[in-house]
Amino acid sequence: MKMKEIAHKLMGSDSSKKIFEKNTKQSNIFISKMMLVFAVAVVANTVVSLMLNGDLIYSNDVKAIFIYDAITILLLVVSALTALVKKGEGAYLPYVLMLSLTISAYLVNQRMVSGASIVFIFPIIICCRYFLPRLTFISSLLSLISLVISIGETVMYNIEQFGNEEGIDVFIKNLVISYLPTFVSIIVCGLACVIISKKCRMMVVEQDEISTKNAAVQTELNLASDIQMNMLPNTFPAFPNRKEFEIFANMIPAKEVGGDFYDFYLKDDDHLVMTIADVSDKGVPAALFMSMSRTVLKLNTKNYNSPAEIIKMTNNQLCAENKNEMFVTVWFAIYEISTGKLRCVNAGHEYPVICRKDGNFELYKDKHSFVLGGMENMKFTEYELDLCEGDTLFVYTDGVVEAENESGEDFTEKRMVDTLNRYKDCNEQLLVENMKKSVLDFTGNADRFDDITMMAFKVNFVPNNK
């Protein structure tokens, strides 16, 4: 990867920068609190050192203890409180805090008799939280410089205490046992933390890019969903000037866009066309095939009068353009308003449900023909129903009866029919909405894998039967 590409990835988009700014602010606050804890620990050690009067691990020079600890505590507390007062905001704060930590580590190391050089690694590790490779590198460099200064002061102290020859021997011994391993550890840790910071920063940028792309895709899917839903009749009452019948329909896609569709429209003043269909797939491919199926079906309805002929022509046209081998189940009907005659074709779809006046809803097991898009030149069986005043017809897709609850149990045809009979006295809109509510209450929090579509039609009166 070229340097410009790496730099671009590390910088990220505007949204990535906001993420890094938020992370830096949170890191400043977090590290400030740690520094206050560190200061408390230094106070506690000071008290213990004074009580022990410098025995064991501490220098006998009580004045040195006071000086080193006082500077350390002051440095930690002032830096931490400054960051907290500013609520972690400020581009310079990470550098101030890291410098304070490094100097504090140096002072803590100096007040120990045998040294505590490993403490220089602490600021470097803390830097990883910022996802700032440059800051981590600077912190590593400062730690190395502090260690070198500390080693130089220790050498001078040993020479002063033991003389040139013995002091150098002590230095060489400490160099092998302590200083050299610490020096190597700081270098290795520094390199590792720089790499980690860079990788973490790049991961954040990449994740943000993925999230941005996903958001864009989601926006497009939402737009596609709106377009799809607007393609279907969704203004009710659909025919306010026609008192002979009532009709209502609803669809809930399993995904942003679905493969189900319903449709109804007047072919002429005396014929109402009703369709409900279910494409074999889901999501965008199904939505595209659904759109094509609906369009072809509607065009053929204008050119032909027989439901069987309309479905046959639609099937042949879908087969000719069906490279993905998808298919669609369709219940299609033309209702003659003046006589109450309903001519239907069921192309592999669910059984309709009929409720006669003063009766109950029952499945009408009509004759099934083959699905659309499966095979050319198929014959489709047409049948006829006589609907009278007060009769209600309910059609649906398999997403209703096959809706699963969290236990994997289907809603089933029986539950559907029982629900319809429970609300049979409602108007068509309430009938559909109560059915939808019953299905959704049944499924609960279970994932939906199929679209849920339903349509209800009721005959208010038949003009020629008056």
Maximum alpha-carbon separation in the chain: 127
Give start and end residues of each alpha helix (H) in 163-237: 164-174, 180-231
pLDDT of residue 254: 76
Would you say residue 114 has pLDDT above 60?
no
Q: Where are the alpha helices (DSSP H) in 279-427?
A: 283-303, 307-320, 398-401, 412-422
pTM of the model: 0.62
Q: Residue 336: pLDDT above 50?
A: yes
* pLDDT reading at 394 higher than 70: yes
pLDDT above 70 covers a percentage of the chain that reads 81
Q: Which of 28-37, 192-201, 400-409 has the least mean pLDDT?
A: 192-201
pLDDT of res. 271: 96
- How far is it, in rounded angstroms, from Cα 39 to Cα 45? 10
Residue 401, pLDDT > 90, answer yes
How much is the pLDDT for 8? Answer: 45
Q: State yes or no: pLDDT of 415 exceeds 70.
A: yes
Checking if the pLDDT of 380 tops 60, the result is yes
With CA atoms as reference, report the closest residue to 436 among 451, 424, 448, 454.
Answer: 454
Structural domains in the chain, CATH included, are 3-214 (no CATH), 232-465 (3.60.40.10)
399: its two tokens: 């997403």
Among residues of the chain, what percentage have pLDDT more than 90?
A: 38
Lowest mean pLDDT among 123-137, 218-232, 259-273, 322-336: 218-232
For the segment 357-381, the average pLDDT, to the nearest whole number, is 93
Give the other-Cβ count within 10 Å of 213's Cβ.
10
* Confidence (pLDDT) at 120: 75
* Long-range contact set of residues 214-222: C-beta below 8 Å, sequence gap at least 24: 218/256, 221/255, 221/256, 221/257, 221/284, 222/256
> How does residue 118 score in pLDDT terms, banded at 50, 70 and 90?
low
| pLDDT of the residue at 203 | 77
Write out pLDDT tens, residues 295-317. Answer: 999 999 999 999 999 999 999 99
Task: Determine the average pLDDT of the residues in 243-272.
Answer: 88
pLDDT at 58 over 50: no
Q: Which residue(s) pair with 384 in the sheet?
A: 343
pLDDT averaged over the chain?
82
